C-alpha cells in the first residue's frame, strides 16, 4: 500500500522551554509518599489492595526498605489544597513521591489551567527542596461520572502532567494506558477495583525503573485531543471521531522523533532549526526500511512540520532530520 507523507513549514517561533536539573536515578528507595484523592485512599480496591500498598509490596522486591506513607484525601481536589500544602508534605521527609491528583479537580469544576498551575507549583516546590528524589506523576484514569465529558478534560490534564514531568525531571506512570478505559478494572464510575489497582501499581513500578522525562528524554503518550501541545511540539491527530486512539512519541529532539500511531498525524516541531537552512528528512519503519525521504528549508519561524499517514507501515516510525551539508558528507 502506498504511503503518503506531506512535509511543510509553518507557525510562530518562541523561546524553547526551560528544564530543572536532572535528578539522580533511583537507588535504595525507603519512605514512599503517596498523595491523591479517594483512588489513593483505596476506595473500590478493598482492604490491602489499594495501589499504594501493592506498589510498595512490588518495590520491596528490589528495595527491601521501601515503606508506604499514604496521605490520601478522599473527595478532595488538588485545587482545594490550602497554601503550604507542598511544604506540609515535606515534613514527612519522603525518599520518593507518587502524585495521583486530578480526577476530582475535574469533578469540582476547576479548569485545566487552574489544575495545571496548582500541579506545577506543587512539583516545583518539592523538586526545589528535594532535587534528587524520584518523583512519579501518574496520569489520570478515565472518569465515567460525567459521560458528556468524554475524557476531554482528562486528556488535556494528562498532557499537562507529562509536560510538568519533563520540566522537573519526574517519571511518569501511564495509568490511563494501563487501564485504558476498560470498565473491568473499575469498582464503580471512577474508582479502580483490586485488578485496576494492580494495573496502576505495575505502571508505577515501571515508572520508578524508567528514565525521568527531561530535556534529553522527551516522550509523550496521549489518546484524546484534536490538538496536542507538548514542550512546544504540536500534534494534530486525524481521529475521524471522538473515541480514544493511542499515539506514543519518543526520542524527541532536533535530530528527529519516533512515533507509534495507528491514525494520521501532523507534527510541528519547536523553533529549533536554522533559518533558511535545508534539512533532509528520512522516515523509516520499525524494520529499518526507508518509506519516505525529502528535503525542506526551514522558514523564518525555524519550525518544520510532518504529516504522516501510517497505512500499513510497521510501527514505530523513526524520523531523522539532518542538515543537508551533514547528510551529504
pLDDT digits (tens, 9 = 90+) for 46-100: 889 999 999 999 999 999 999 999 999 999 999 999 999 999 999 999 999 999 9
Extents of the domains making up the chain: 5-16+232-327, 31-208
Give the C-alpha separation, 101 to 106, whole Å: 10
Tell me the fold of 5-16+232-327: Immunoglobulin-like (2.60.40)
- Written as nine digits, the cell of 17 is 522551554
Closest CA to 48 of 197, 206, 205: 197
Q: 104: closest CA among 41, 187, 174, 45?
A: 41
Q: Is 203 helix (H, G, I), strand (E, B) or coil?
A: helix
Residue 147: CB atoms within 10 A of its CB come to 8
- Helix, strand, coil share (%) of the chain residues, nearest 5: 30, 25, 45
pLDDT of residue 12: 29
CA atoms within 13 A on the CB side of 104: 18
Q: How far apart are CA 29 and CA 18, in angstroms?
A: 28
| C-alpha pair distances (Å), 40 with each of 16, 101, 117, 193, 266 | 35, 9, 21, 12, 36
User: Helix 194-208 to helix 51-59 angle, to the nearest 10 degrees?
Assistant: 40
Q: How crowded is residue 64: how many other Cβ atoms within 10 Å of its Cβ? A: 10
Q: How many CB atoms lie within 10 A of CB 63?
A: 20
Distance CA 92, CA 263 (A): 45
**263 Cβ contact list (under 8 Å, min separation 6):** 237, 238, 239, 240, 245, 247, 310
Residue ranges of the alpha helices (H) in 143-295? 152-168, 175-179, 194-208
Written as tens digits, the pLDDT of the chain (329 aa) is 333 333 332 232 334 455 555 554 456 799 999 999 999 999 999 889 999 999 999 999 999 999 999 999 999 999 999 999 999 999 999 999 999 999 999 999 999 999 999 999 999 999 999 999 999 999 999 998 876 666 789 999 999 999 999 999 999 999 999 999 899 999 999 999 999 999 999 999 999 999 999 999 999 999 877 789 999 999 999 877 667 789 999 999 999 999 999 899 999 999 999 999 999 999 999 999 998 888 999 999 999 998 888 888 999 999 999 999 754 44
d(Cα 130, Cα 127) in Å, to the nearest integer?
Answer: 5
What CATH number is given for 31-208 in this structure? 3.40.50.1110
Amino acid at each position: 500500500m502506498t504511503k503518503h507523507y506531506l512535509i511543510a513549514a509553518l507557525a510562530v517561533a518562541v523561546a524553547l522551554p526551560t528544564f530543572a536539573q536532572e535528578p539522580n536515578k533511583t537507588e535504595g528507595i525507603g519512605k514512599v509518599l503517596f498523595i491523591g484523592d479517594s483512588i489513593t485512599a483505596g476506595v473500590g480496591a478493598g482492604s490491602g489492595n489499594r495501589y499504594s500498598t501493592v506498589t510498595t509490596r512490588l518495590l520491596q522486591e528490589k528495595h527491601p526498605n521501601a515503606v508506604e506513607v499514604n496521605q490520601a484525601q478522599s473527595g478532595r481536589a488538588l485545587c482545594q489544597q490550602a497554601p503550604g500544602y507542598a511544604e506540609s508534605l515535606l515534613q514527612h521527609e519522603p525518599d520518593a513521591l507518587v502524585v495521583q491528583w486530578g480526577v476530582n479537580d475535574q469533578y469540582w469544576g476547576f479548569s485545566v489551567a487552574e489544575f495545571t498551575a496548582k500541579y506545577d507549583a506543587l512539583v516545583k516546590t518539592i523538586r526545589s527542596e528535594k532535587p534528587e528524589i524520584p518523583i512519579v506523576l501518574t496520569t489520570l484514569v478515565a472518569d465515567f461520572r460525567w459521560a458528556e465529558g468524554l475524557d476531554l478534560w482528562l486528556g488535556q490534564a494528562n498532557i499537562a502532567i507529562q509536560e510538568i514531568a519533563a520540566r522537573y525531571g519526574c517519571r511518569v506512570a501511564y495509568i490511563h494506558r494501563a487501564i485504558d478505559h476498560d470498565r473491568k478494572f473499575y469498582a464503580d464510575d471512577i474508582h479502580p477495583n483490586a485488578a485496576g489497582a494492580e494495573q496502576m501499581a505495575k505502571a508505577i513500578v515501571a515508572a520508578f525503573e524508567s528514565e525521568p522525562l527531561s530535556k534529553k528524554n522527551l516522550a509523550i503518550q496521549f489518546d484524546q485531543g484534536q490538538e496536542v501541545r507538548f514542550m512546544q511540539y504540536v500534534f494534530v491527530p486525524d481521529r475521524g471521531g471522538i473515541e480514544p486512539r493511542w499515539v506514543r512519541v519518543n526520542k524527541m529532539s532536533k535530530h528527529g522523533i519516533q512515533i507509534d500511531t495507528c491514525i494520521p498525524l501532523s507534527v510541528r516541531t519547536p523553533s529549533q532549526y536554522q533559518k533558511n537552512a535545508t534539512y533532509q528528512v528520512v522516515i523509516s519503519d520499525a524494520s529499518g526500511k526507508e518509506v519516505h525521504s525529502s528535503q525542506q528549508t526551514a522558514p523564518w519561524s525555524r519550525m518544520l512540520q510532518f504529516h504522516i499517514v501510517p497505512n500499513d507501515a510497521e510501527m514505530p516510525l523513526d524520523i531523522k532530520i539532518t542538515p543537508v551539508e551533514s547528510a551529504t558528507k
